[in-house]
């Protein structure tokens, strides 16, 4: 089994097995914003460490048997949105609106001609 050498910010160099390391590949909305990292729990101090990984590091860790975790951004996140973000006041307005749900059914009835 391959031994992977990594550096813990607290303990310095540590030896890991491929099962102790994970690679995360996150697809961002724009290709240039995508990023990859590798994550391990330090066997000495137990701190979780995450470090950036370029394509070469991802390829090397993958060939050593490290599990690749791909995080895909859903298609909806790639849509372009206009307008300001929904705020706390908007949610309160929605709650107040829904409390008068009878008005909605009346509106639907009027719209459908009933």
Give CA–CA dist 107/93, Å, rounded: 18
Q: Work out how close the CB of 11 gets to Zn ion at its nearest, in angstroms, rounded to a whole number.
A: 3
Shortest Å, Cβ 43 to Zn ion: 8
Question: 29 or 45, CB closer to Zn ion?
Answer: 45
Nearer to Zn ion, 45 or 92 (CB): 45
Measured from the CB atom, the residue of 12 and 83 that comes closer to Zn ion is 12
CB of 17 to Zn ion, least distance (A): 16
Residue 81 phi/psi, 5-degree rounding, is -115, 140
Dihedral pair phi/psi, residue 5, rounded to 5°: -95, 130
Nearer to Zn ion, 47 or 103 (CB): 47
Strands (E), the chain: 4-8, 12-16, 21-26, 35-41, 48-52, 67-71
Shortest Cβ 56–Zn ion spacing (Å): 24
What number of CA atoms fall less than 13 Å from residue 57's CA on the CB side? 17
Q: Which residues bind Zn ion (CB under 5 A)?
A: 8, 10-11, 42, 44-45
């Amino acid at each position: 089994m391959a031994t992977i050498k990594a550096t813990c910010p607290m303990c310095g160099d540590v030896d890991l097995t491929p099962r102790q390391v994970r690679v995360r590949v996150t697809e961002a909305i724009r290709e240039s914003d995508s990023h990859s990292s590798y994550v391990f729990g330090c066997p000495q101090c137990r701190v979780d460490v995450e470090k950036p990984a370029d394509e070469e590091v991802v390829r090397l860790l993958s060939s050593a048997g490290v599990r690749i975790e791909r995080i895909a951004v859903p298609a909806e996140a790639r849509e372009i949105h206009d307008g300001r973000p929904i705020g706390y006041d908007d949610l309160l307005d929605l709650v107040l609106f829904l409390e008068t749900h009878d008005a909605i059914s009346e509106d639907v009835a009027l719209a459908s001609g009933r």
